[in-house]
Chain A
Amino acid sequence: MPNILRVKNLNVKLDGEEIIRNLSFEVKEGEILTILGPNGAGKTVLLKTLLGFLPHEGEIEWQKEVKIGYVPQRLPFIKDIPISVEEFFKLKNSSRKEIKEILNSVGFQESFLGKKMGDLSSGQFQRVLVAWALIGNPEVLLFDEPTTGIDIGGEETVYGLLTKLKQKRNFTILLVTHDLSVVYKFSNYVICLNKSPICQGLPREILTAKTLQKLYGEEVKFYEHHKY
């Protein structure tokens, strides 16, 4: 499989503070890469840098003309704006036909389009965000901390939904999380990040008690992965 993303010697400094140090990795087409790390480890900064929002040193090389869908963690200001689900999708210049198809693929009926965004449950909201990112057929999805606990409807989690969607369209997924369970359940490559890269590789091989202690600090207990 060809590389869809190659990062080499990435350094990010914000307001003089070093946020990411010397990070290098590659992502292959169709791979699910998890960036794991504690709060404040620079995970979100990494996503934003990959999206091209932040100044950086080093190389970030996306496959040519790759289309990226970005799924933010939450949208705190949207509750202040009276906007329907359909209007939210139209902000992206999408046709009604495309909107309907995508909403169907994440399990919503057409009648859902008239709902007010501010009235959605957090599960519905997350599903809408995924659907929004899917408009325009992106090859890569970037997720900022998808909420793990919440039931997005029909006892499905956002990971179940993604797995289902991925079977239909083989996109590449990059997600950042501090939730260890996500890594085992869902991803096939992991980067542990706490400003500098701590480890990277296949989850079952590299996530040992030792690396996790190094990543999260001494007091964190090691969770055996067969529990998941």
Chain B
Amino acid sequence: MLISNGVEQFLLSLIAGIFIGGAAGYLGTLMLSKKMALVAGPLGHLTLPGIALALLYGFDISLGAFPFVILGIILIWLLEIRTKLAMEALTAVVFASGVAIAFLFLPIEQAETALVGDISKVGFWDTLSVIFLCLLLFLIIKKIYSKIILINVSEDLAKSEGMEVKKYNLLYLGAIAIIVALGVKMVGGLLTAALVAIPAAASRNLSKNLFQFSLFGLLLGAISSFLGILSFKISGLPAGPLIIIVAAFFFLISMIFKKS
């Protein structure tokens, strides 16, 4: 092998990180426009028991998280139909329960990976499947983008155009499920909401139109991951929190541009 294991490992995590960050930032712009960005929070927390199982039995974190995300999506869907208090109730109940259940059986030394993620040990096939899923996500989001924007602007207006609102909402929730499952691998159950929300919020400050909004969201997500993983390599501090801190830094800079 020409390149050492350490370098190869670093490149893999960098590639996986850039793809996950970009997809999260892109989808984040859609979620922010529906005030849904924080839904990724309770969803991320809900995945913790799944992550715990994955860590205990040594299988992929995203795979462990996925069934729990689906459970969360179904909860959102049911609660949104039944009551308008949906999001608050969901957050209050799920936040606590996810963490509580996970820590019933998760050994404390593995807590860090569950809570703030670990992209540094991602393997070759892992990375390949991350790339594949992120490209798939990109295509889905691109296809539904303008439809979801119209639904976000006004569901009545969308319906009056004969749009199948339910179908697009389902695709949208599916995309959210995939990004949360991928996000927890990189930044853990605690920080996934931030991965989705912060680049999008920064992008909103900088954008005059939808095109810029979605593009900057994608770029800021990807660049935050790149710089975060780079600083992990240099400092040895955990990558997940570093990615989020870089994103938050971009958000602060975007605030300056917003005022001018």
Contacts and interface: CB of A to CB of B under 8 A. Distances in A.
Contacts of A87: 209-211
Nearest to B147: A91
A51 B159 contact: yes
Q: Give me the 3 closest cross-chain CB pairs, A-B, nearest first.
A: A70-B160, A84-B209, A82-B207
Contact of A92 (B161, B204, B210, B212): B161
A91 to B, nearest CB: 4
A1 interface: no
13 contacts: A48-B156, A70-B157, A72-B156, A75-B157, A77-B153, A80-B33, A81-B153, A82-B207, A82-B209, A82-B213, A87-B210, A87-B211, A91-B146
A84 B213 CA distance: 11
A51 B210 contact: no
A60 interface: no
Contacts, number: 66
Contact of A53 (B149, B159, B210, B212): B159
Interface string A96-118: 00000000000000000010100
A82 B211 CA distance: 9
B259 interface: no
Interface of B: 32-35, 146, 149-150, 152-154, 156-157, 159-161, 204, 207-213
Contact of B149 (A52, A72, A86, A91): A91
Contacts of A75: 153-154, 157
Chain A interface mostly helix, strand, loop or mixed?
mixed
Contacts of A84: 208-210
Interface residues of A, number: 24
Contact of B156 (A53, A88, A92): A53
A90 interface: yes
A83 B210 CA distance: 5
Contact of B35 (A68, A72, A80): A80
B122 to A, nearest CB: 34
B157 A72 contact: yes
Given A83-B209, A90-B146, A72 B154 contact: yes
A48 B207 CA distance: 34
Contacts of B34: 77
B160 A83 contact: no
B239 to A, nearest CB: 30
B208 to A, nearest CB: 6
A130 to B, nearest CB: 13
B153 A78 contact: yes
Nearest to A90: B146
Contacts of A78: 153
Contact of A70 (B35, B152, B156, B204): B156
Interface centre among A48, A70, A81, by most B CB within 10 Å? A81
A36 B207 CA distance: 42
A47 to B, nearest CB: 9
Nearest to A47: B156
B144 to A, nearest CB: 12
A116 to B, nearest CB: 6
Nearest to B150: A91
A83 B149 contact: yes
Contact of A81 (B157, B159, B160, B210): B210
B178 to A, nearest CB: 23
A72 B33 CA distance: 19
A53 B161 CA distance: 12
Nearest to B146: A91
Contacts of A91: 146, 149-150, 153
Contact of A77 (B154, B159, B211, B213): B154
Contacts of A53: 156, 159
Interface centre among B150, B152, B159, B210, by most A CB within 10 Å? B210
